[in-house]
């Protein structure tokens, strides 16, 4: 293993989340001397307080609905008891197992792991636990942190990180926010039998997604029993009966638990950015070039610190692109187009490519194909949940430039559709593809009539 002359390390990574671990491991595999510093948990947001525990909780919250659906198939699966501690603690055991895997990945790759808070203290210098380390290149990958609720009593609300470790399941809860974190948490709580409210300043859920898809998802989410409060919170007051959250329209709701799920911000506190005058953009993200260079020489940033899609696969791709650029003399930048994503609300929403609104804004002459139906699985049940699918096609070249779905397994289905769209498939290719029958997925290759 080589190391640049006069430096302790070739690469020093601050943050052992998805981006940091991938960059560290792969750099070490290139015979670079690498260190990574971490002060919260190995694996970052996704493993500890994001994608993984959230989806485990979602799975748990779906069993009550499954029990109702089972009746139509002749099974009596009545559920009269749910033990929150079992779900929470089993989830925690799995997360701890994954923490250990990440630690071993770093150890086996020959990466030096340093436990403690790291901050920039000068050019090519980092301080951890009162010890100074030097490195030829420094990579910032500290991820995001839940935003605070800037209202009187806002500290009485828990954040999205704390939700995964609640001592007790509340009987009632208000989720503040309208984005994917908020609707996912609301769905989990509602599915577990909690009286659930979701407070949206705009009165809408999932703004920014394709509008007709968003509207369909909102309708399906709310008809499961979640109450939408279309108002901005103004204060939270603690009382004997619980916590009272007040709204700007003068209304108020009392609940056992209030969760702030209004988003996440770059985790840059005490990182030492001011020491090197590292510039931020107007949203508070670290400014970077296409090569992930910050305004300070030899300091780079990737993942949720920069203004790119806050998704684990994106962070991993940025880490690999950074390594290609720095150690393989490959200046190619990462292609952020046609990134598939999913919201694990209930039912799930998945999407790839352009929304209808984006296509129109770009002046593209489009055709829209859409369908709505009740899934075959539900036809023997009393469930009225419906599925929605949508394709957006560029008339000029017949290419499919957007796909959107609300329904069970939409994330699994959309991954395959994303490959086709990334490859430049036309609507004719979709039409000539023979579907798998009976399945919801076949609907994507059987749409023949555009919306008028």
Domains and CATH numbers, the chain: 9-146+265-327 (3.50.50.60), 154-262 (3.50.50.60), 341-445 (3.30.390.30)
Whether 158 contacts 260, CB under 8 Å: yes
Q: What sign does the CA torsion over 321, 325, 330, 334 have?
A: positive
Strand order in the sheet with 242-247: 233-239, 242-247, 252-255
Please check whether residue 37 is in contact with residue 116, taking contact to mean a CB–CB distance below 8 angstroms.
yes
pLDDT tops 70 at residue 320: yes
Residues 286 and 306: beta-carbon distance below 8 Å: yes
Farthest CA pair distance, the chain = 73
pLDDT tens for 57-75 read 999 999 999 999 999 999 9
For residue 96, CA distances in Å to 36, 112, 115, 450 come to: 19, 20, 16, 49
For residue 249, the model assigns a pLDDT of: 87
* Spacing of C-alpha 208 from chain mean position: 14
Q: Please, which residues have CB within 8 angstroms of residue 117's CB and are 6 or more apart in sequence?
A: 37, 39, 128, 129, 270
pLDDT in the model for residue 80: 82
C-beta of residue 147 within 8 angstroms of C-beta of residue 263? yes
Whole-model pTM? 0.95
- In this structure, the strands spanning 144-146 and 242-247 are unpaired
Of 142, 186, 146, nearest to 162 by C-alpha is 146
Mean pLDDT across the stretch 376-387? 97
Please say if 437 is a catalytic residue: yes
CA–CA dist 343, 354 (Å, integer): 16
Across 233-258, average pLDDT = 95
Query: Which residue, 195, 202, 139, 197, is CA-closest to 169?
Result: 195
φ/ψ (deg, to 5) at 368: -120, 130
DSSP code for 329: -
What integer best gives the mean pLDDT of the chain? 96
The predicted-structure confidence for 135-184, as pLDDT tens digits, reads as follows 999 999 999 999 999 999 999 999 999 999 999 999 999 999 999 999 99
For residue 392, give both structure tokens. 């957006």
SS3 content of the chain, % helix, strand, coil (to 5): 35, 25, 40
Alpha carbons within 13 A on the beta-carbon side of 62: 14
pLDDT of residue 130 exceeding 70:
yes
Phi and psi torsions of 2, nearest 5°: -105, 160
Of 68, 101, 61, 96, nearest in space to 82 by CA: 61
Rounded Cα–Cα distance for residues 377 and 69 (Å): 9
Task: Round to whole Å and give the CA distance between 358 and 355.
Answer: 5
Spot the catalytic one: 68, 328, 404, 437: 437
Q: What is the mean pLDDT of residues 192-199?
A: 98
Band of residue 4 on the pLDDT scale cut at 50, 70, 90 = low
Arithmetic mean of pLDDT, 88-109: 97
CA 152 from chain centre, in angstroms, equals 28
* Residue 423 predicted with pLDDT over 90: yes
Q: Is it the case that residue 442 has pLDDT exceeding 70?
A: yes
Q: Is 121 helix (H, G, I), strand (E, B) or coil?
A: strand
What is the DSSP secondary structure assignment for residue 274, as one 8-state letter? Answer: G
Residue 254 has φ and ψ, to the nearest 5°, of -105, 130
What is the spatial distance between Cα 358 and Cα 402, in angstroms, rounded to a whole number?
10
d(CA 234, CA 149): 10
Q: Is the pLDDT of residue 2 over 60?
A: no
Q: In this predicted structure, what is the pLDDT of residue 241? A: 87
Torsions phi, psi for 36 (to 5 deg): -135, 135
Q: Does a cis peptide bond (omega within 30 degrees of 0) precede residue 292?
A: no
Across the range 32-46, mean pLDDT stands at 97
How far apart, in whole angstroms, are the C-alpha atoms of residue 254 and residue 169?
Answer: 16
Establish whether the linkage from the previous residue to 23 is cis, with ω within 30° of 0. no
The CA-atom distances, in angstroms, between 405 and each of 322, 415, 445 are: 32, 11, 13
Position 253 pLDDT exceeds 90: yes
pLDDT tops 90 at residue 5 = no
DSSP code per residue over 79-92? -----HHHHHHHHH
């Amino acid at each position: 293993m080589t190391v640049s002359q006069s430096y302790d390390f070739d690469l020093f990574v601050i943050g052992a989340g998805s981006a940091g671990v991938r960059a560290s491991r792969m750099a070490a595999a290139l015979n670079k001397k690498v260190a990574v510093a971490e002060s919260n948990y190995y694996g970052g947001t996704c493993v500890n307080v994001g994608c993984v525990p959230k989806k485990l909780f979602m799975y748990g919250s779906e069993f009550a609905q499954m029990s109702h659906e089972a009746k139509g198939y002749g099974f009596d699966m009545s559920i009269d008891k749910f033990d929150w501690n079992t779900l929470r603690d089993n989830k925690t055991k799995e997360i701890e197992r994954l923490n250990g895997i990440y630690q071993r990945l770093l150890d086996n790759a020959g990466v030096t792991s340093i436990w403690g808070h790291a901050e920039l203290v000068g050019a090519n210098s980092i301080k951890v636990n009162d010890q100074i380390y030097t490195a030829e290149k420094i990579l910032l990958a500290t991820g995001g942190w839940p935003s605070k609720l800037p209202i009187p009593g806002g500290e009485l609300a828990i954040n999205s990180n704390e939700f995964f470790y609640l001592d007790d399941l509340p009987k009632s809860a208000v989720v503040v926010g309208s984005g994917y974190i908020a609707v996912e948490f609301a769905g989990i709580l509602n599915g577990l039998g909690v009286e659930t409210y979701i407070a949206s300043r705009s009165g809408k859920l999932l703004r920014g997604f394709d509008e007709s898809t968003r509207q369909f998802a909102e309708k399906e989410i709310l008809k499961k029993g979640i109450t939408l409060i279309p108002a901005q919170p103004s204060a939270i007051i603690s009382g004997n009966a619980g916590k009272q959250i007040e709204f700007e329209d003068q209304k108020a709701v009392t609940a056992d638990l209030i969760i702030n799920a209004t988003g996440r911000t770059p985790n840059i506190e005490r990182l030492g950015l001011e020491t090197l005058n590292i510039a931020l953009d107007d949203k508070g993200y670290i400014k970077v070039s296409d090569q992930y260079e910050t305004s300070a020489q030899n300091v780079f940033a990737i993942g949720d610190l920069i203004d790119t899609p806050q998704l684990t696969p994106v962070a991993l791709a940025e880490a690999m692109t950074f390594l290609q650029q720095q150690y393989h003399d490959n200046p190619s930048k990462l292609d952020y187009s046609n990134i598939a994503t999913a919201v694990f609300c209930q039912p799930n929403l998945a999407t790839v490519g352009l929304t209808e609104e984006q296509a129109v804004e770009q002046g593209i002459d489009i055709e829209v194909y859409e369908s709505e139906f009740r899934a075959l699985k539900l036809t023997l049940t009393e469930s009225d949940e419906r599925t929605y699918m949508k394709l957006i096609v560029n008339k000029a070249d017949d290419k499919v430039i957007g796909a959107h779905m609300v329904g069970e397994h939409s994330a699994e289905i959309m991954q395959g559709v994303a490959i086709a769209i990334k490859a430049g498939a036309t609507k004719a290719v979709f039409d000539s593809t023979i579907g798998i029958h009976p399945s919801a997925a076949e609907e994507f290759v059987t749409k023949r009539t555009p919306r008028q």
